Amino acid sequence: MTQPQSVCILGSTGSIGVNTLDVIARHTDRYSVYALTANKNVALMLAQCVQFHPSKVVMQDEQAAEQLRVQLNVKGLNIDVEQGASALAELAASEPVNIVVAAIVGAAGLLSTLAAAEAGKRILLANKEALVMSGQLLMQRAAKYGATIMPVDSEHNAIFQSLPATNSGVSFAGVENIVLTGSGGPLRKCSVEELSVVTPQQALKHPNWSMGRKISIDSATLMNKGLELIEACTLFDLPLEKVEVLIHPESVIHSMVRYSDGSVIAQLGQPDMRTPIAHALAWPERISSGVEPLDFKQLNGLHFEEPDTQRFPCLRLATEAQAVGGTAPTVLNAANEMAVDAFLNGFVSFLQLAQTVEYALTEAKISPASDLTTIIEADTIARQLAQNKIDTFRNKLS
Ligand code: NAD
Ligand code: MG
């Protein structure tokens, strides 16, 4: 029997992390959990340690790391707990790891994902922000050091599945373009007046998917589709005009590929992330994921519409940022992370989210995203610009 593959999950306490562990628990003969990491959710990390017995854990937060050490001791579990961003990157690159699941939310996942790429790991990429903010850097490092990037984001995973397979990945032979589908989020039918008074609770209520808070807000503003548009261009090395965005409220078709002969190949399934996670883990093989089969007789039709970039300008902003290139997507992503946080904290309104991002994109100096220092600098400046805009919105509120 072959050895199980050793897995490191960056962000194991999040929605993707928990779903990944659910799939792994079904296949302990194939996968062993070598390392888990999180920001500060000690209770869930402790429960995961009890169930999966990882050799190593990293908590981003120092106090959380200390609390976890104490609690593991009480349970008699001998697990090495470290703390901080450099420990995270070292772990992702460490020798025993075969598979790195990049499931941290936001720019906080960039350095550990880059470290995994430079160590030539198989990377299951959920952390789209790391890819969006880094231009071609992550893909270039992966190619240079022989890392494999498997898309976990359901749309990109669907596209991967709908392309002809080659020995090393997929080919674009005969492809006309790709169609990224999106549900349109919980506010799809709201007027601008209604959008102006949307609360975080309303925006967090996604109709089809259960996800972390940041991506849920991004889904409501359609920034998620914008980030995914950039993600698709970067992952598959496609120009903007080869990627079409289509609203499909039922979230049954997860994306499609159009071919030159008029064929369209789509991937369908339940809106459950365990399917793309299981696919990315096992590819080119298939494993069970625990997801219910799709019952076509229960579907009440499949619907499609154009995205409305008037009411949801974030999708337009993302498209423009990708067209500009360089550090424009870095700025878009950083300002958006700040705006989402401010919205969740009640400091800006729903419509002011896009205004914050637009302000940062207009004010920031855009340079070629040629190296990590330039990218991190662009990210930092965009956060400052976004904060200035957020402060003006807050001052008007008080
Ligand atoms: P989440 O908020 O549920 O979980 C985030 C994880 O990252 C947690 O384990 C958290 O502890 C960790 N984390 C947060 N900040 C950190 C920091 N500063 N340093 C280290 N660790 C940190 O998020 P999620 O919904 O699981 O999403 C994770 C990523 O996957 C995002 O990039 C998201 O866009 C992408 N994604 C998610 C889904 C989904 O269904 N949830 C689908 C597609 C893509
Ligand atoms: Mg997605």
Contacts of 230 (CB under 8 A, 6+ apart): 131, 132, 318, 321, 322, 329, 332
Note whether residue 38 is domain-resident.
Answer: yes
Asked if residue 326 and residue 394 are part of one domain, the reply reads yes
Residues 375/133, Cβ–Cβ less than 8 Å = yes
Question: Which amino acid residue places its CA nearest to atom 42 of ligand 1?
Answer: 153
Question: Does ligand 1 come within 6 angstroms of the Cβ of 137?
Answer: no
Asked if residue 203 and residue 89 are part of one domain, the reply reads no
User: What is the DSSP secondary-structure string of 113-178?
Assistant: HHHHHHTT-EEEE--HHHHHHTTTHHHHHHHHHT-EEEE-SHHHHHHHHHSPB-SSSB--TTEEEE
Asked if residue 204 and residue 92 are part of one domain, the reply reads no
Cα 108 vs. chain centroid, distance in angstroms? 12
Instruction: Ligand 1 pocket test: pick from 211, 227, 340 the residue with the most ligand atoms within 8 Å of its Cβ.
Output: 211
Asked if residue 130 and residue 28 are part of one domain, the reply reads yes
User: What is the DSSP secondary-structure string of 190-241?
Assistant: --HHHHTT--HHHHH--SS----HHHHHHHHHTHHHHHHHHHHHHHHT--GG
Note whether residue 346 is domain-resident.
Answer: yes
Note whether residue 63 is domain-resident.
Answer: yes
Ligand 1 centre and the CA of 103: distance in Å? 5
Nearest-angstrom CA–CA distance, 236 and 125: 13
Nearest-angstrom CA–CA distance, 287 and 279: 7
Reduced to 3 states, what is the DSSP secondary structure of residue 37? strand
Note whether residue 171 is domain-resident.
Answer: no
Reduced to 3 states, what is the DSSP secondary structure of residue 55? coil
Asked if residue 201 and residue 146 are part of one domain, the reply reads no
Question: Which amino acid residue places its CA nearest to atom 9 of ligand 1?
Answer: 11
Q: Which domain holds residue 361?
A: 194-211+311-398
DSSP category for residue 111: H
DSSP category for residue 305: B
Asked if residue 201 and residue 74 are part of one domain, the reply reads no
φ/ψ of residue 376, rounded to 5: -70, -35
Note whether residue 120 is domain-resident.
Answer: yes
Note whether residue 292 is domain-resident.
Answer: no
Asked if residue 82 and residue 13 are part of one domain, the reply reads yes
Question: Which amino acid residue places its CA nearest to atom 31 of ligand 1?
Answer: 105
Instruction: Ligand 1 pocket test: pick from 105, 110, 159, 160 the residue with the most ligand atoms within 8 Å of its Cβ.
Output: 105
Asked if residue 198 and residue 114 are part of one domain, the reply reads no
CATH number of the domain encompassing residue 52: 3.40.50.720
Closest ligand (CA of 15): 1
Note whether residue 294 is domain-resident.
Answer: no
State the closest ligand 1 atom to the C-alpha of 209, by its place in the atom list counted from 1. 40
CATH number of the domain encompassing residue 206: 1.10.1740.10
Q: What pLDDT does residue 336 have?
A: 99
Question: Which amino acid residue places its CA nearest to atom 43 of ligand 1?
Answer: 153
Residues 248/304, Cβ–Cβ less than 8 Å = yes
Closest ligand (CA of 112): 1
Nearest-angstrom CA–CA distance, 328 and 364: 8
Question: Does ligand 1 come within 6 angstroms of the Cβ of 105?
Answer: yes
Question: Does ligand 1 come within 6 angstroms of the Cβ of 273?
Answer: yes
State the closest ligand 1 atom to the C-alpha of 211, by its place in the atom list counted from 1. 41
DSSP category for residue 317: H
Question: Does ligand 1 come within 6 angstroms of the Cβ of 329?
Answer: no
Single out the residue in 132, 151, 170 at which a domain terminates: 151
Asked if residue 203 and residue 70 are part of one domain, the reply reads no
Q: b/e string for 272-296 if b means 16 or more Cβ within 10 A?
A: bbbbbbbbbbbbeeeeebebeeeee
Ligand 1 centre and the CA of 18: distance in Å? 10
Asked if residue 331 and residue 200 are part of one domain, the reply reads yes
Ligand 1 centre and the CA of 152: distance in Å? 12
Q: What pLDDT does residue 1 have?
A: 59
Q: What pLDDT does residue 397 have?
A: 73
Contacts of 25 (CB under 8 A, 6+ apart): 51, 52
Note whether residue 176 is domain-resident.
Answer: no
Ligand 2 centre and the CA of 154: distance in Å? 5
State the closest ligand 1 atom to the C-alpha of 38, by its place in the atom list counted from 1. 11
The model's pTM: 0.98
Question: Which amino acid residue places its CA nearest to atom 21 of ligand 1?
Answer: 39
CA-to-CA separations, 295 to 127, 280, 290, 292, 344, in angstroms, rounded: 30, 23, 15, 9, 36
**pLDDT tens per residue across span 46-69:** 999 999 999 999 999 999 999 999
Closest ligand (CA of 125): 1
Q: What pLDDT does residue 275 have?
A: 98
Question: Does ligand 1 come within 6 angstroms of the Cβ of 15?
Answer: yes
φ/ψ of residue 27, rounded to 5: -140, 55
Ligand 1 centre and the CA of 347: distance in Å? 22
**Domains of the chain: total:** 2
CA-to-CA separations, 66 to 77, 226, 248, in angstroms, rounded: 14, 39, 46
Question: Does ligand 1 come within 6 angstroms of the Cβ of 128?
Answer: yes
Asked if residue 137 and residue 42 are part of one domain, the reply reads yes
* Sequential pLDDT tens for the chain (398 residues): 589 999 999 999 999 999 999 999 999 999 999 999 999 999 999 999 999 999 999 999 999 999 999 999 999 999 999 999 999 999 999 999 999 999 999 999 999 999 999 999 999 999 999 999 998 999 999 999 999 999 999 999 999 999 999 988 899 999 999 999 999 999 999 999 999 999 999 999 988 888 999 999 999 999 999 999 999 999 999 999 999 999 999 999 999 999 999 999 999 999 999 999 999 999 999 999 999 999 999 999 999 999 999 999 999 999 999 999 999 999 999 999 999 999 999 999 999 999 999 999 999 999 999 999 999 999 999 999 999 999 999 988 76
Question: Does ligand 1 come within 6 angstroms of the Cβ of 148?
Answer: no
Residues 367/378, Cβ–Cβ less than 8 Å = yes
Asked if residue 320 and residue 198 are part of one domain, the reply reads yes
Ligand 2 centre and the CA of 232: distance in Å? 10
